[in-house]
Amino acid sequence: MVLAQILCAGVLLLWASSIPAEQKAAERAQQAGGNYTPTGGSQSQDSGQASATAAAESLRQGTKLTMQGQFAAAIPLLHAAQTGGASGYAAGFNLALCYVGTGRYVDAITQLQALQGMGRNTAAVNNLMAQAYLGKGDLQQAWASIQEAARLAPTDEKMYALLLNACTDHYAYALGLQVADLGLTALLDSARLHYERAMFLARLDRFDEAKPEFAKAAQLDPGGDVGYLALVQERLYQDRLPEALDLARRAVNAGHRDYQMLSLLGTVLMFSGAAPASPEFAEARSALEASVSERGDYSTSQIALGKLYLMEGRAAEAIPHLEAGRRLEPQNPAVYTSLASAYRRIGDKQASEASLSTLAALLREKAATAAREQVQP
């Protein structure tokens, strides 16, 4: 799934507008090769100006790395920008995003709380706060942040989509259903939200309730990306693979080459029994490679492509994709089985055994969670 931490493309667009005018002026001056003196300063304050310029450059570089998904590399630069006094909001928000992207959820929450303390209680801040709490496993606080984000931006469909992706990534299906319901109170005719609501109902084994939601999404977006996704997913949940495959092919051939549709096409072809060297297998490979190329942070495509390469005997090429899937969706047991097989095939016994150990621990954890849920009243 699209990892909440990496999937903040909608939020990334807010950064430029969040940088104060002085910060933007400093960046323009740097691009022009000149110097910039903050409002109220003087040319005699060379030391302060140099410090501000260095902080602005750190912020620029850190933001660039963040937008490229290089979160670990961006963190020290953003720290330097923050220490040097560069834009409190931009540096703090970017730093929080990087912390979420590297699984440092407590650090992200601390940064975001500081922004709120500065009076920046924005929808974007609460959106990211909710994702951090989801990563931390605190669903109650996540829901509180989600409600606040919705209060501040009740009709922002992209915001709900990011939150729903985060719920999917962290297997918080019941919470995801709540988010979809919350969004639909303000966006009753959103095909995307009806589709997401259907998906969460289906994941919760409530397919009878999901069917009318799939139908509603298709009705609201006839012939569109979401409409096709709804039709394909509905068939998949009913195990009607030939129909799902036909719809996915029709959608892609009609120009709906969304990364999710391409991933669905490749995955359905594999489920349908496409064998290596067959035309269907080549079609699946092409679709999955295109999906990964468009959206490298979509774990479903990364894992499926890794498995496909493994089926072709290309273990060394499979590993980077499977490792990407593991980073994006660490709670998915299926990725560890494939990783163990891939590492074994290239002769890395230690890595193979480590993958199996992680899988065993994950399955024990899931069994314990299921047992606790059964004894709850």
Q: How far apart are CA 298 and CA 284, in angstroms?
A: 16
| pLDDT for the residue 346 | 96
Return left, alpha or beta for 313; rule: phi > 0 is left, psi -120 to 50 is alpha, else beta. Answer: left
By percentage, how much of the chain surpasses pLDDT 70? 84
Mean of pLDDT over the chain: 85
pLDDT band, residue 235 (cuts 50/70/90): very high
Judged against a pLDDT cut of 60, whether residue 206 lies above it is answered with yes
Exposed/middle/buried for 330, CB within 10 Å: 0-12, 13-18, 19+?
middle
Q: What is the pLDDT of residue 266?
A: 96
Average pLDDT over every residue of 171-186: 96
Alpha carbon dihedral 358, 359, 363, 366, in 10-degree steps, equals 60
Q: What is the pLDDT of residues 311-351, one digit of tens each?
A: 999 999 999 999 999 988 888 888 999 999 999 999 999 99
- Where is average pLDDT lowest: 51-60, 185-194, 250-259, 262-271? 51-60
Encoded amino acid at 334, one letter? A
Q: Give the C-alpha distances (Å, rounded to integers) separating 258 from 141, 253, 295, 298.
A: 33, 12, 9, 12
Write down the pLDDT at residue 29.
Answer: 28
Model pLDDT, residue 52? 77
- Amino acid making up residue 128: L
- Give the span between the Cα atoms of 338 and 325, in whole angstroms: 11
Write the pLDDT tens digit of every residue in 69-128: 889 999 999 988 888 776 688 889 999 999 998 889 999 999 999 999 999 999 999 999
What tens digit of pLDDT does each residue of 273-303 get? 999 999 999 999 999 999 999 998 889 999 9
Specify the DSSP element, H or E, that contains 230.
Answer: helix 225-237
Question: To the nearest whole percent, how much of the chain has pLDDT over 90?
Answer: 67
C-alpha distances out from residue 156 to 94, 184, 220, 229, 308, Å: 21, 11, 18, 21, 37
Examine the pLDDT at 8 and tell me if it is beyond 70.
no
Residue for token pair 């912390």: 99
Q: What is the pLDDT of residues 54-80, one digit of tens each?
A: 888 888 898 999 888 889 999 999 988
pLDDT in tens, 24-42: 323 322 333 333 333 444 4
> Which one has a higher pLDDT value, 296 or 1?
296
Please tell me the predicted confidence (pLDDT) of residue 124.
Answer: 95
pLDDT reported for residue 260: 92
pTM over 0.85? The answer is: no
Q: Is 117 exposed, middle or buried (0-12, 13-18, 19+ CB in 10 A)?
A: exposed
The letter for the amino acid at 22 is E
Task: Return the beta strands (E) in the chain as ranges.
Answer: none
- The answer to whether the beta carbons of residues 134 and 153 sit under 8 Å apart is no
**Mean pLDDT, residues 211-233:** 96
Give, to the nearest 10 degrees, the angle between helix 225-237 and helix 259-271: 20
What is the predicted pLDDT for the residue at 374? Answer: 61
At 6, is the pLDDT very low, low, confident or very high (cuts 50, 70, 90)?
Answer: very low
- What is the DSSP track for 344-363? HHTT-HHHHHHHHHHHHHHH
Q: Which token pair is 66?
A: 């963040």
- Position 69 scores a pLDDT of 82
